[in-house]
Amino acid sequence: MKHYKSFFTNEQECLKAILEIHNEGKAIEVDPMYFKGNFYKEIAEPKYKFDLNPVVLECVQANAINLPLNDKSVKSIILDPPFLFGVHGKTKNYYSSKTHTMFNTFNDLEITYKGILKEAYRILEKKGILIFKCQDYTDSKTTMTHCFVYNWAIELGFYADDLAILNIPQSKVYNGNLNQRHFRKTHTYFWVFKK
Ligand SMILES: C[S@@+](CC[C@H](N)C(=O)[O-])C[C@H]1O[C@@H](n2cnc3c(N)ncnc32)[C@H](O)[C@@H]1O
Which residues, listed in sequence order, are joined to residue 53 by a DSSP beta bridge? none
For residue 38, the CA-to-ligand 1 centroid distance in Å is 11
Give the angle subtended at the CA of 180 by the CAs of 177 and 182, to the nearest 5°: 140
pLDDT of residue 180: 82
Q: Whose CA is nearest to atom 16 of ligand 1?
A: 100
For residue 1, the CA-to-ligand 1 centroid distance in Å is 31
DSSP, collapsed to helix, strand or coil, labels residue 91 as helix
Q: Whose CA is nearest to atom 12 of ligand 1?
A: 33
For residue 72, the CA-to-ligand 1 centroid distance in Å is 23
Residue-wise pLDDT for 80-117, tens only, equals 999 988 866 655 566 666 667 889 899 999 999 999 99
CA distance 163 to 8: 11
pLDDT of residue 139: 81
- Whole-structure pTM value: 0.94
Q: Whose CA is nearest to atom 11 of ligand 1?
A: 33
pLDDT of residue 24: 97
State which residues of the chain have pLDDT below 70: 1-2, 87-99, 171-175
For residue 52, the CA-to-ligand 1 centroid distance in Å is 7
Residues 132, 191: contact at Cβ < 8 Å?
Answer: yes
CA distance 134 to 83: 7
DSSP, collapsed to helix, strand or coil, labels residue 72 as coil
Tell which residue, 43, 41, 12, 11, has the closest CA to residue 27.
43
Residue 52 CB less than 6 A away from ligand 1: yes
